[in-house]
Amino acid sequence: MLSSVNGSVRQFLSFNQRPQRLLHLTPRSQFQEMGSHFDFLTKKPYSPPSWASRLSPIPSHYYSLGHFPTPIHKWNLPNLPNNTEVWLKRDDLSGMQLSGNKVRKLEFLLADAVAQGADCIITIGGIQSNHCRATAVAARYLNLDSYLILRTSKVVVDQDPGLTGNLLVERLVGAHVELISKEEYAKIGSVALTSDLKEKLISDGRRPYVIPVGGSNSLGTWGYIEAIREIEQQLQTGTAEAKFDDIVVACGSGGTIAGLSFGSWMSSLKAKVHAFSVCDDPDYFYDFVQGLLDGLEAGVASRDIVNIQNAKGLGYAINTSEELKFVKDIAAATGVVLDPVYSGKAAYGLLKDMTENPEKWEGRKVLFIHTGGLLGLYEKVEQMGSLVGNWRRMDVHESVPRKDGIGKMF
């Protein structure tokens, strides 16, 4: 599938090399009238957007952990339907160690952890979990220890997990890594596993705070409610006239789409939210998102405010060669590197849908949320090796003068 997309990406290289138009960005501190150049890692009182003020409970504080607002720019993808525009919200640029969508949730979750007097954080995810990496870094910033329960293959569950991708960052910042096999995880579940570790730590005199998979609970949902306010402000202050008809994002745990869909529904955006699920199935996520919305007393039905499509392919964090080639071709054409687990599959699903149902997207202006995850590519290097190339030993003609020591190796 998408062979027409993959095959034509290179034709757009010269087109995409022209400068891209960026929306004028106003600092987030100006949005909330908290102008300070020293906001990073500080705790701040939180006041919700007016259109979200009826939700309950409303967080009292948040920590400034990300570099916001993240940019929005035109994304010149190949083979789009007639008069269709795709723009990109770069939440992959929300930081370095803390890059990606999880940072927005952690701003609220860690403020709650500190308020409760926690001295350590427990969370859980896959072996290359972006959320676990972001949690470990953010926790260390706030002088909290982190305990990460990571799901892996039963073949290697008793072995050192190594230092590839997110694992390297997690272990550098001193995270305590607890490995669990996929089979045990499936039988026990994330809630029981985190509860078991919490009890052990309490018995050791610690004060743990548990963050669920992906940071996706009702409190974490505020991260992307706030992101909608950010997008509103960017559109209002931008030099470009932009009004988005659709918002597209990957869905892995549900919190991001809960915040985006409710926010877009209630705010002035009124864009239709499309989520491409990379695990489980759409029915699961409709129900899960409904639970998050009910936890905020939102009074809306998830099926009314978000459209969820299946994009998991072979399974969570498992890629076909065609999906990886798509990631490589989009990077070569546009300079935007998608991760293979989340945004890569979502973009693949989006362009596939546009190819199969062009009339559905014709003339629409689409905002795609890049949720980060670059470090996850490092686990795919063997699979991607045959897809890249572009290297050779340089052939220096014999007529070029040579002299020992002339080349300084800095």
Report CA-CA distances (Å) from 385 to 109, 267, 323, 347, 382.
Answer: 38, 45, 14, 21, 5
User: Mean pLDDT over residues 104-109, rounded?
Assistant: 98
Report CA-CA distances (Å) from 160 to 127, 173, 186, 200.
Answer: 12, 17, 22, 22
Residue 330 lies in a domain: yes
Residue 389 lies in a domain: no
pLDDT for residue 338: 97
pLDDT class for 33, splitting at 50, 70, 90?
very low
What SS3 class is residue 289? helix
pLDDT for residue 16: 40
Tokens of 259: 């915040």
249 and 370 part of one domain: yes
Beta-ladder partners of 251 = 277
pLDDT class for 409, splitting at 50, 70, 90?
confident
Query: Which CATH number belongs to the domain containing residue 321 in this structure?
Result: 3.40.50.1100
318 and 208 part of one domain: no
Residue 256 lies in a domain: yes
Compute CA 295 distance to the chain's CA centroid, rounded to the nearest angstrom: 23
8 Å CB contact between 119 and 143: no
91 and 107 part of one domain: no
173 and 193 part of one domain: yes
Report CA-CA distances (Å) from 115 to 60, 61, 110, 206.
Answer: 10, 9, 8, 15
8 Å CB contact between 90 and 68: no
pLDDT class for 342, splitting at 50, 70, 90?
very high
329 and 222 part of one domain: yes
Residue 80: closest CA among 361, 370, 325: 361
DSSP secondary structure letters along 348-405? HHHHHHHHH-HHHHTT-EEEEEE---GGGGGGGHHHHTTT----------TTS---TT
pLDDT for residue 23: 55
Residue 391 lies in a domain: no
Phi, then psi, of 39 in degrees rounded to 5: -80, -25
Phi, then psi, of 345 in degrees rounded to 5: -70, -35
Tokens of 180: 């669990």
Count of domains in the chain? 2
Residue 22 DSSP label:
B
Query: Helices 102-115 and 218-237 meet at what angle, rounded to 10?
Result: 130
238 and 316 part of one domain: yes
**What is the average pLDDT value for the chain, to the nearest integer?**
91
Residue 235 lies in a domain: yes
Look up the domain containing 335 and give its range: 62-99+217-383
283 and 338 part of one domain: yes
244 and 158 part of one domain: no
Residue 39 lies in a domain: no
Statement: residue 21 has pLDDT above 90: no
Tens of pLDDT along 182-226? Answer: 999 999 999 999 999 999 999 999 999 999 999 999 999 999 999
Write down the residue that tokens 């550098």 correspond to. Answer: 172
Separation of alpha carbons 157 and 183, rounded Å: 11
182 and 319 part of one domain: no
Taking the model in full, what pTM does it have?
Answer: 0.90
User: Mean pLDDT over residues 347-357, rounded?
Assistant: 98
Separation of alpha carbons 192 and 407, rounded Å: 61
8 Å CB contact between 274 and 305: no
The amino acid at residue 265 is: W
Tokens of 181: 């096999």
Residue 38 lies in a domain: no
pLDDT for residue 390: 83
Residue 49 lies in a domain: no
pLDDT for residue 238: 74
129 is catalytic: yes
Tens of pLDDT along 119-161? Answer: 999 999 999 999 999 999 999 999 999 999 999 999 999 999 9
Separation of alpha carbons 7 and 54, rounded Å: 49
Beta-ladder partners of 178 = 149
Question: Looking at 183, 214, 245, which one is the last position of a domain?
Answer: 214
Question: Looking at 214, 235, 255, which one is the last position of a domain?
Answer: 214
DSSP secondary structure letters along 48-65? --GGGTT-SSPPSEEE--
pLDDT for residue 212: 97
Question: Looking at 214, 235, 266, which one is the last position of a domain?
Answer: 214
87 and 111 part of one domain: no
pLDDT for residue 239: 57
pLDDT for residue 28: 47
pLDDT class for 408, splitting at 50, 70, 90?
confident
Statement: residue 266 has pLDDT above 50: yes
Q: Report the half-sphere exposure of 120 (CA within 13 A, side-chain side).
A: 20
Report CA-CA distances (Å) from 287 to 187, 253, 258, 280, 308.
Answer: 21, 12, 11, 12, 11
Q: Which is the catalytic residue, given 94, 99, 129, 261?
A: 129
User: Mean pLDDT over residues 247-251, rounded?
Assistant: 98
267 and 159 part of one domain: no
266 and 156 part of one domain: no
Q: Which of 20-34, 37-51, 206-220, 234-248 has the lowest mean pLDDT?
A: 20-34
Beta-ladder partners of 151 = 126, 180
